[in-house]
Amino acid sequence: MAKILQIETATAVCSVALSIDGRTVSIKEESGQNLHASNLTLFIESVMQNSELNLSDLDAIAISKGPGSYTGLRIGVSTAKGLCYALDKPLVAIETLKMMAAGFVLEKPDYEGLICPMIDARRMEVYTTVLDGNLNVLEETSAKIIDEQSFSELLSNYKITFLGDGAAKCADVLNHPNALFSDSNFNSAGNMSSLALNAFTHANFEDVAYFEPFYLKDFVLTQPKKKV
């Protein structure tokens, strides 16, 4: 049985889950600002205790690799790497947007249409991709500034469900009869269970020493304005 510890810290959600053979058996998560540094290791301990397993029983560690919050991703990835080193376990990386789409498919298995997960970047910019119901990628992950013409060609031919914390701010702009919006939260480590199992089964592992999160955009440190 493939026992995989799964970590999601790419957004404001701090989420840890344990899956066995692609089925989520234990999960601990909370949403809020600046939770990851203080809660992540506690959530890991809680999930392992609830499953009555030891860390040494794991077969792999899976991380939601981004795009998303620079700080959150660094905390999640560094924690996952530390576990892999300490336990001598392989690292699996799952793209965050695909994980979100997988969660939507779990919730609506009969859905016919396209899926567009969005992670809030800033202003009207989002990190996004477009997938079909089988999680095939139709538009590669990118940072988009959303306006009235965004996704117009796809929307003329398909229903698209927009989801994630970036979708709400786009609802007024993407005013089209084929544009649907889900307010459910899919930034959950439990949503990567089937994806993590597939990567593990095919030995699609990362190099623990050199793996870096998928930031998509460079982190820019801004200096505070001087008071006059």
Instruction: Render pLDDT for 120-138 as a digit per residue (tens, 0 to 9).
Output: 998 889 999 999 999 999 9
The DSSP secondary-structure symbol of 134 reads T
80 and 126 housed in the same domain: no
Q: What is the CA radius of gyration of the chain?
A: 18
Q: Is 66 left (phi over 0), alpha (psi -120 to 50) or beta?
A: left
Instruction: Evaluate whether residue 216 is within a structural domain.
Output: no
pLDDT tens-place string over residues 192-220? 999 999 999 999 999 999 999 999 875 44
The CA distance from 127 to 101, in Å, is 13
Answer yes or no: are the C-beta atoms of 64 and 7 closer than 8 Å: yes
What is the predicted pLDDT for the residue at 216? Answer: 82
| Residue 226 predicted with pLDDT over 70 | no
Residues 101 and 174 in one domain: yes
User: Is the model's pTM score more than 0.85?
Assistant: yes
pLDDT for residue 172? 87
Q: Mean pLDDT across the chain, nearest whole number?
A: 93
In a domain, residue 22? The reply is yes
Average pLDDT for 20-38: 94
Residue 17 confidence (pLDDT) above 80: yes
Fill in the amino acid letter for 173.
V
pLDDT at 72 over 50: yes
What pLDDT is attached to residue 218? 57
pLDDT of 65: 97
Q: For residue 225, is it within any domain?
A: no
Please name the residue ranges forming H helices in the chain: 36-51, 70-87, 96-107, 152-155, 193-201
Is there a domain that residue 174 lies in? yes
CATH number at residue 176: 3.30.420.40
Position 78 in a domain: yes
Domain hosting 156: range is 97-181
* Predicted confidence (pLDDT) at residue 33 exceeds the cutoff of 70: yes
Angle, CA of 54, 57 and 59, to the nearest 5°: 135
Q: What angle do CA 85, 194, 73 make, to 5 degrees?
A: 45
Residues 21 and 101 reside in one and the same domain: no
The first and second tokens of residue 46, run together, are: 């809680």
Asked whether residue 116 carries a pLDDT value surpassing 80, the answer given is: yes
Residue 78 sits in the same domain as residue 141: no
Q: What is the pLDDT of residues 147-172, one digit of tens each?
A: 999 999 999 999 999 999 999 889 88
Say if residues 30 and 14 touch (Cβ distance below 8 Å).
yes
Phi-psi region of 216 (alpha: psi -120 to 50; beta: other; left: phi over 0): left
Which own/partner contact pairs does 198-204 have at CB distance under 8 Å and 24+ positions apart?
Answer: 198/22, 199/62, 199/92, 199/93, 199/94, 200/2, 200/4, 200/59, 200/60, 200/62, 200/90, 200/92, 201/2, 203/90, 204/92
**Domain annotation covers residue 218:** no
Instruction: Quote the pLDDT of residue 198.
Output: 97
Same domain for 105 and 81: no
Whether 222 shows a pLDDT value over 70: the answer reads no
**Are 90 and 191 in the same domain?**
yes
Question: What pLDDT score does 4 carry?
Answer: 98
35/69 same-domain check: yes
Count structural domains, the chain.
2
pLDDT digits (tens, 9 = 90+) for 76-115: 999 999 999 999 999 999 999 999 999 999 999 999 999 9
Give a yes or no: residue 221 inside a domain: no
Q: Is the same domain home to 165 and 105?
A: yes
What residues have CB less than 8 Å from 129, skipping those under 6 apart?
97, 98, 101, 116, 117, 137, 139, 140, 141, 142
- Confidence at residue 220, expressed as pLDDT on a 0 to 100 scale: 43
What per-residue confidence (pLDDT) applies to 7? 98
Residues 28 and 49 in one domain: yes
63 in a structural domain: yes
102 shares a domain with 59: no
Q: Clarify whether residues 29 and 90 are in a common domain.
A: yes
Residues 7 and 75 in one domain: yes
